[in-house]
Chains A and B, each alone.
Chain A
């Protein structure tokens, strides 16, 4: 293409008679840009990285949860390793599983919650970790109960990322005498907090915490116990403000006064609005832990190991905890954190409040009976 034609095309693009895509296509600029981007990534990045030791892969695909990483760490990992992190953010473990199961996800690292790991292993979607490639990982720094969740048949398939609890959050300015048990939670939802209560749009916690109010197990699959939970949920439904796991907008605006809440939402809301109070159910409830795992299908395994190893470095992990407000469970990281954080009852509840809590079980999540119960509750 000679100069004159190029200018002519540029003019017709500018005056709108051809589209940008046409312009890039006709002039070949689009192809050129694509070739440069795929073959010479160094050209598009800063040259400051030259000289650092580089991985053989230039990218790392991460599947994770919202607001769950320190941007500083991600940027820094990209700079030192040469592997740019591209993130897919998910709303539920089921979605994450569905995507990986469908194939072609292209992920290198994923962040599954404890109760999904045995399912991933059973379906052959993740493989045992080669701990020799994770020198920053120290099993003895974690409590045995967390380690056990990532271990299947004696093999470590996943290493702990963060842990937390599922409790109840209330606005103490609107609701005097907030509930401290799940029995009181459901009573308040039908009483003083009627029309102002939010329940998770998540079978595991919505049904689990209804079961707890009867004193049953969080993981119960017993038909009679599930029937009791269903009766309670359907009775409460007309009094609910919403069935929605995204509690923050409505709690902040004052539309909702009481909600089921995970540790992170509670920390963030309490930090901004001190009247937000978090309680764990006296009867118990859920304790959970997220993990790092590597899919069998990953095509950048060296980058995957390097990434996990990078974040498990206590100094880096400290930045993670400070940014998202979930405890890491790693003793070496706790030693680096400010005392005020370690004394925060939302992030680090007292031992006696933690002891009745249960981990969700794989069978609880995949139970068709519970899935159908939740669906009946939602479409009631």
Chain B
């Protein structure tokens, strides 16, 4: 398109060309001007805090807590003391994401391809829980998972003495409950855009339902799955509310370690080091994930379209 537009604007007389050039540089300035607010926003509110955290992470805890200037690697060398928090997070965040995906995909599929009436009502129902505070809803789970809730129900079926609250299972249930809508929506959007004629063509050419799903539906919904997985996984890595409330302080995430370091022991430098490590870890994990997606998941989508 550019190549076609170019000769037209340059070839005619010089006067016009200058005018066009001026117009173009004005356009460029407008673009810069329009980008300015978001650039400033990004620099001030995203990069600056990150830079401050980086500087703090090499400092020392002042005598009464908080930050004191200094240069030490001790904070990073001390990361091993939070090994349990790292392992809990690195097990439960991916596991939670996976369970969310397995639970969300059929729901999104149903909503996008099987429902014709009341679709917007059903979609609204998926987000209805968001209308009340997440804290309150998670508190409600305390009662559902505590002795008089689900375990009492199970006991009436003969399954005695099941303990749920303050175990990793309670945290996993809370995670799936809280994050399911975030997984459903991206997948729904990508399935909803799916061209149904492709499925008809596939059936006409003799593919079984499963074959059509595997070779058409699944690859075409990959962008939604990728987005959903990233959304849920990134948020889960920093989660602290669910483990704090449903884990009873016994299932400890990195987020909880961070909250404790900033609000209880007030060791800001160590907290900053932990936060930087978390950011670095996420960058690596997300980078590897996107690479893998590009290698194994990305191609079929590109060649399919």
Contacts and interface: CB of A to CB of B under 8 A. Distances in A.
Given A119-B64, A372-B81, A379-B84, A242 B252 contact: no
Nearest to B60: A368
Contacts of A374: 260, 264-265
Contact of A368 (B81, B82, B85, B265): B265
Contact of B81 (A241, A255, A375): A375
Contacts of B262: 98
A253 B146 contact: yes
B267 interface: yes
Contact of B248 (A94, A241, A366): A241
Contacts of A375: 81-82, 257, 260-261, 265
15 contacts: A92-B264, A94-B263, A195-B163, A203-B265, A241-B166, A243-B250, A249-B146, A250-B146, A255-B147, A375-B81, A375-B82, A378-B249, A378-B256, A378-B260, A380-B84
B252 A249 contact: no
A203 B264 contact: yes
A331 interface: no
Contacts of B172: none
Interface string A87-119: 000001011011001000000000000000001
Interface residues of B, number: 32
Contacts of A122: 64
Instruction: With a 10 A CB-CB cut-off, give which of A202, A374, A379 has the most chain B CB atoms.
Output: A379
A94 B163 CA distance: 33
A315 to B, nearest CB: 36
A264 to B, nearest CB: 20
B171 interface: no
Given A254-B147, A255-B146, A379 B264 contact: no
A81 to B, nearest CB: 32
B148 interface: yes
Interface in A43-80: none
B94 interface: no
Interface in A227-282: 237, 240-244, 249-250, 253-255
Contact of A101 (B61, B66, B146, B264): B66
Interface of A: 92, 94-95, 97-98, 101, 119, 122-123, 195, 201-203, 237, 240-244, 249-250, 253-255, 366, 368, 371-372, 374-376, 378-380
B252 A379 contact: yes
A209 to B, nearest CB: 16
A377 to B, nearest CB: 10
A254 B66 contact: no
B143 A253 contact: yes
B148 A253 contact: yes
Interface string B112-148: 0000000000000000000000000000001100111
B165 interface: yes
A240 B251 CA distance: 12
A368 B248 contact: no
Contacts of A92: 263-264
A94 B252 contact: no
Contacts of B264: 92, 94, 202-203, 371, 374
Interface string B258-289: 00111111110000000000000000000000
A254 B163 CA distance: 13
B61 A379 contact: no
Interface of B: 61, 63-66, 81-85, 142-143, 146-148, 163, 165-166, 248-250, 252, 256-257, 260-267
A369 to B, nearest CB: 10
Contacts of B64: 119, 122-123, 366
B148 A254 contact: yes
Contacts of A201: 249
B60 to A, nearest CB: 10
Interface of A is mostly: helix
Contacts of B65: 94, 97-98, 366
Contact of B63 (A241, A366, A372): A366
A94 B267 CA distance: 11
Given A253-B146, A255-B165, A372-B81, A242 B257 contact: no
A371 B249 contact: no
Contacts of A254: 147-148
Q: List 5 A-B pairs, minimum CB-CB distance, nearest first.
A: A371-B265, A242-B248, A243-B249, A379-B84, A255-B147
A242 B145 CA distance: 14
A164 B260 CA distance: 25
Contacts of B142: 249
A368 B66 CA distance: 11
B250 A242 contact: yes
Contact of A376 (B81, B147, B163): B81
A241 B142 CA distance: 13
A372 B250 CA distance: 17
Nearest to B260: A375
A374 B256 CA distance: 13
A379 B85 contact: yes
B124 to A, nearest CB: 13
A254 B227 CA distance: 42
Contacts of B147: 253-255
A195 B162 CA distance: 12
B128 to A, nearest CB: 18
Contacts of A249: 142-143, 146
B129 to A, nearest CB: 21
Contact of B267 (A123, A250, A368, A380): A368
A164 to B, nearest CB: 21
Contact of B249 (A195, A203, A244, A253): A244
A242 B85 contact: no
A98 B263 CA distance: 7
A372 B263 contact: no
A244 B248 contact: yes
A141 to B, nearest CB: 32
A133 B142 CA distance: 47
A346 B71 CA distance: 50
Nearest to A367: B265
A59 B265 CA distance: 33
